[in-house]
Structure 1
Amino acid sequence: MGSKLSGKDLIKLGFPQNNVVNIALGQIHRYRKREKKERILVEAKDVLQAPEQYIGDGIWGKIAEALIKPIEIRLQQLNNQRAPFSIFGENEIDEQAKRQLYDALKLPIAIQGALMPDAHSGYGLPIGGVLATDNTVIPYGVGVDIGCRMSLYIYDLPASYFNGKTFQLTNILKDNTKFGMNEVHKQKSEHAILDRYEFQDIPLLKNLKDKAYKQLGTSGGGNHFVEFGIVKIDTESETLNIPKGEYIAVLAHSGSRGLGANIAKHYTYLATKQCPLPRHVQHLAWLDLDTHDGQEYWLAMNLAGDYAKACHDDIHRRIAKALGKQPLAKIENHHNFAWKEIIAGKECIVHRKGATPAQRGVLGIIPGSMTTEGYIIEGKGNSLSLDSASHGAGRLMSRAACKNSITKSQMFKEIENKGVELIGGSVDESPMAYKDIKKVIALQSELVHVLGTFTPKIVRMDK
């Protein structure tokens, strides 16, 4: 069996007695341990003789890279000076979140950074943190829930449609949405995303395809939701192209489910091994995009982002079918992702961890809590924020603090007072856990135009 293959076997083939042997054993044990030793040695010999032919290969590419140009592993030192940065709504942001941004700005790869007014501390980059880096990607700068996104579907139905239909609309959410670790749809959907070549070519993703198929069209736990509500368009825009007025709408918030979480875990581990950093910033370990693992993460990250969109598309398809209506307009955006963008004339990798893209003319949706308005926005393209805006109201209290200080009866009283119907939900998502969304929006007036609002009426979350 492949698992019985040793370093001595590879050295006998002619492998150099350095870290390439460890890399080869790691890849073989992870992806080929059920195969015969003899077959693996034949392939290993081919790689040794012509490594350039295996660059990019899912299993042998990393070994070929180590044979041609080994990655230099050395402790990375932080710069003494921070890269340029801007903070929006500084007085509303906790000191730990600011310190996390300051640490990230001292990375030798950092080009520019920003902090949004909903920011709070997280792992690696703070939530609400934006960081541009030089040809490198930080898995924890993207986040665990890769491609977590908002999607708003607006229907040509008046706000009065809610009158007398709360029961019917509540059942539509109950019947057509699934949440958390265990709920899946009985009637699975087929989607082109599952035919993507990355699921075949990248061994990690190949092993995750079944999970992705089962979870397609479902939402995560925590702060993920699907809501019926009322959209009010206050400002006409050529980009949105909807007349002023009030409309029924469906807003969803979720990401790439188990697929994204496993990608984040795997490549964060690889980054920490290849990019040792001082202990207090170890979550900011990066992958060079000129390496096998960097390229592979980039492909996997983009697949996870597209998968998150596919999940949203399926959620809305099911609800639209139950409503018997097609949407008038769609607004959607990622807020846990990395993009290749031009910053000060140079192509950089822009990480937005809990931040909304806000390039000039780009539409987005920034939600509040389950009882407060969300905002439909159009970006102004402010370079100081790296063309970004907040992704929500931002947490005022940690989940643990919520559980220690808010009771379920207090939460439900607040929800009832606001006339909201809640299905599921937990105290750590209580409206009292979040900052004042109106203040957060006001603090980024130089980043976005507000076109309208979304007011939740029926909210479905994990139990």
Structure 2
Amino acid sequence: MKTMITGNNLLEIGYSEGKTIGLALDTIAEHFKETSDVELLALLKKVKDYPESFLDDPILSKLATAMIEDASANVSDTIELNADAKDYYIFGENYIEEGARKQMDVAMKLPVTVAGALMPDAHQGYGLPIGGVLATNNSIIPYGVGVDIGCRMALSVFDIPEKHYFGKDNRYKRELIAFTKFGAGREFRGLERADHEVMESEAFKLTPLLKALHGKAWAQLGTSGGGNHFVEWGIIEFAERDEILNIDKGRYVALLTHSGSRGLGATIAGHYTKLAKQLCKLPQEAANLAYLDLNSAEGQEYWIAMNLAGDYASACHEVIHKRLTKAIGAKVLAKVENHHNFAWKETLNGEEVIVHRKGATPAAEGVMGIIPGSMTAPGFLVRGKGEIQSINSASHGAGRMMSRSKAIQSITKADMKAVLKDHGVTLIGAGLDEAPMAYKDIHQVMAAQTSLVDVIAKFEPKMVRMADDGSRED
């Protein structure tokens, strides 16, 4: 089988004339000779629509990078790295690829670095590895936060016993489709639009960039985007009563969501990364770790924009949860949510630091969080133990075992359907790059962080919605 994809095909799916088309065609010729044109075009469209999801992909990262910023930016060696990397802790060392360690080694040489840690789901990312935690001295790294600023998990536990879920699949599916919206650039229009107090935030008036983003942010409020974002119904089991949440032992219907700050966060990330690279010129291997001094005007601007994006991401989840809670006529027994692409001012060993958690869950003592598995593997409601060696952090999921391009090449639709059937999971949307087999074993990941969190409850996915990859059955 030989691919027949041309530049015109790429133009038809939204590529622009120039470097990215050449990169795409070169990538096809070198790596995708045996992939069908339908699957390949769907994958390439996903790279265009959600480039941040491919920044850790060994085959497609170069193309994704070109989509996000000018890859030929002139970076000169004006700020030297420290000769030796500071020591850092690795949790789940046996499950972490060499690329993630090398990236963390570079981050630990930054002159502003105070401490670091790698979580057991860590894998190679862009700048700071995904699953990397980095504490810095009064400095913020835009790509240490990530493209999808404020990406988070949110869980609602309902007063609906497990037995009342089964047999009502059509109802839950209907409401899930009616009140969620997935895909790059997707917006709500007219009366569909949600409202939330975050849209009245004074931060939107503070810079020309944020003013210009207000309209798009409002239109995308309550949408989920693409990549590995999802909205899913499931069953959560409390093996014993939890006094803090005031929930009795039992199995309840629950709603779990994963998404971030949509176009607002991505635009902020791109703008301030470019600015940081202009102001903080690092050696080539560290260029994507360019940082802003929080005492500078640019650093303060990014800090305000980042926090706005985090509040906005939280608002998106709130809109989704309120709409679906009302649709099924439920009462919420408990709601838990947490960021995992963000930076916080925290105290570490008596010193105020900026803690970047790029794909890591806050896990200070008593702090609640959600660590998902995959569309067929369980997720876990956890409570942090406040482990200083992890900088009060834990994993943000299972982590990828297989790159997106590798998953597309090696997993078939039949394989994926069989796994979904075996686990009794209904899937709406998603592509082969999100197949459960592409992820690490969540049980191994959890076993590697027993010193970081206590498991409070286990969530089992039953109906999952994700962005469609654009491919269709022949």
Q: Secondary structure at the match of 1:144?
A: coil
CA offset at residue 81 of structure 1?
Answer: 2.3
Question: RMSD in angstroms over aligned alpha carbons?
Answer: 1.1
Picking from 388, 393, 398, the partner of 1:393 is: 398
Q: Secondary structure at the match of 2:126?
A: coil
Q: Which residue of 2 aligns with 1:423?
A: 428
Structure 1 stretch displaced more, 177-186 or 283-292 = 177-186
Q: Which residue of 1 aligns with 2:140?
A: 137
Q: How far does the alpha carbon of each residue in 1:147-196 deviate from its partner, in whole angstroms, 9 at most, with x for none? A: 00000000011111122101110111011100112433341112111111
CA offset at residue 235 of structure 1?
Answer: 3.9
Change (3 A) 1:434 1:395: same
Q: Secondary structure at the match of 1:122?
A: strand
Picking from 318, 324, 332, the partner of 2:337 is: 332
Picking from 338, 348, 370, the partner of 2:375 is: 370
1:283 and 2:305 are equivalent in the alignment: no
Q: Is the 8 A contact 1:84 1:111 kept in 2?
A: no
1:217 and 2:222 are equivalent in the alignment: yes
Q: Is the 8 A contact 2:383 2:456 kept in 1?
A: yes
Q: Secondary structure at the match of 1:454?
A: strand
Picking from 100, 104, 107, the partner of 1:104 is: 107
Q: Which residue of 2 aligns with 1:228?
A: 233
Amino acid at match of 2:289: L
Q: Distance in 2 between matches of 1:347 and 1:83?
A: 18
Q: Secondary structure at the match of 2:160?
A: coil
Q: Is the 8 A contact 1:74 1:275 kept in 2?
A: no
- Give the TM-score, by structure 2 length: 0.81
Q: Which residue of 2 aligns with 1:78?
A: 81
Amino acid at match of 1:419: G
Q: Distance in 2 between matches of 1:208 and 1:334?
A: 21
CA offset at residue 242 of structure 1?
Answer: 1.2
Q: Which residue of 2 aligns with 1:247?
A: 252
Q: Is the 8 A contact 1:365 1:374 kept in 2?
A: yes
Q: Distance in 1 between matches of 2:412 and 2:77?
A: 49
Change (3 A) 1:275 1:134: same
Q: Distance in 2 between matches of 1:74 and 1:277?
A: 5
Q: Secondary structure at the match of 2:159?
A: coil
Picking from 401, 405, 413, the partner of 1:408 is: 413
Q: How far does the alpha carbon of each residue in 1:385-404 deviate from its partner, in whole angstroms, 9 at most, with x for none? A: 00000000000001111111
Q: Distance in 1 between matches of 2:217 and 2:456?
A: 35
Amino acid at match of 2:352: E
CA offset at residue 240 of structure 1?
Answer: 2.4
CA offset at residue 74 of structure 1?
Answer: 7.4
Alignment of 1:59-458 (within 5 A): 75-186=78-189, 187-458=192-463
Q: Distance in 1 between matches of 2:92 and 2:240?
A: 25
Q: Distance in 1 between matches of 2:346 and 2:337?
A: 19
Amino acid at match of 1:213: W
Q: Secondary structure at the match of 1:185?
A: coil
Q: How far does the alpha carbon of each residue in 1:319-340 deviate from its partner, in whole angstroms, 9 at most, with x for none? A: 0110112311001000000000
Q: How far does the alpha carbon of each residue in 1:285-342 deviate from its partner, in whole angstroms, 9 at most, with x for none? A: 0000000000000000000000000000000011011011231100100000000000
Q: Is the 8 A contact 1:236 1:451 kept in 2?
A: no
Amino acid at match of 2:422: N
What residue ranges of structure 1 are gaps of 5+ in the alignment?
Answer: 1-72
Q: Is the 8 A contact 2:416 2:432 kept in 1?
A: yes
Q: How far does the alpha carbon of each residue in 1:330-371 deviate from its partner, in whole angstroms, 9 at most, with x for none? A: 010000000000011000000000000000001111000000
Q: Distance in 1 between matches of 2:267 and 2:339?
A: 18
Structure 1 stretch displaced more, 411-420 or 359-368 = 411-420
Q: Distance in 1 between matches of 2:242 and 2:388?
A: 22
Q: Is the 8 A contact 2:372 2:380 kept in 1?
A: yes
Structure 1 stretch displaced more, 159-168 or 280-289 = 159-168
Q: How far does the alpha carbon of each residue in 1:4-33 deviate from its partner, in whole angstroms, 9 at most, with x for none? A: xxxxxxxxxxxxxxxxxxxxxxxxxxxxxx
Q: Secondary structure at the match of 2:295?
A: coil
Q: Distance in 1 between matches of 2:297 and 2:188?
A: 36
Q: How far does the alpha carbon of each residue in 1:134-153 deviate from its partner, in whole angstroms, 9 at most, with x for none? A: 00000000000000000000
Q: Is the 8 A contact 2:77 2:284 kept in 1?
A: no
Amino acid at match of 1:114: A
Q: Secondary structure at the match of 2:79?
A: coil
Q: Secondary structure at the match of 2:455?
A: strand
Q: Secondary structure at the match of 2:89?
A: strand
CA offset at residue 407 of structure 1?
Answer: 1.4
Q: Distance in 2 between matches of 1:140 and 1:84?
A: 21
Q: Distance in 2 between matches of 1:363 and 1:206?
A: 34
What residue ranges of structure 2 are gaps of 5+ in the alignment?
Answer: 1-75, 469-474
CA offset at residue 80 of structure 1?
Answer: 1.6
Amino acid at match of 1:315: I
Q: Distance in 2 between matches of 1:197 and 1:74?
A: 38
Q: Is the 8 A contact 2:156 2:254 kept in 1?
A: yes
Q: Which has the larger radius of gyration?
A: 1
Q: Which residue of 2 aligns with 1:23?
A: none
Q: Secondary structure at the match of 1:350?
A: strand
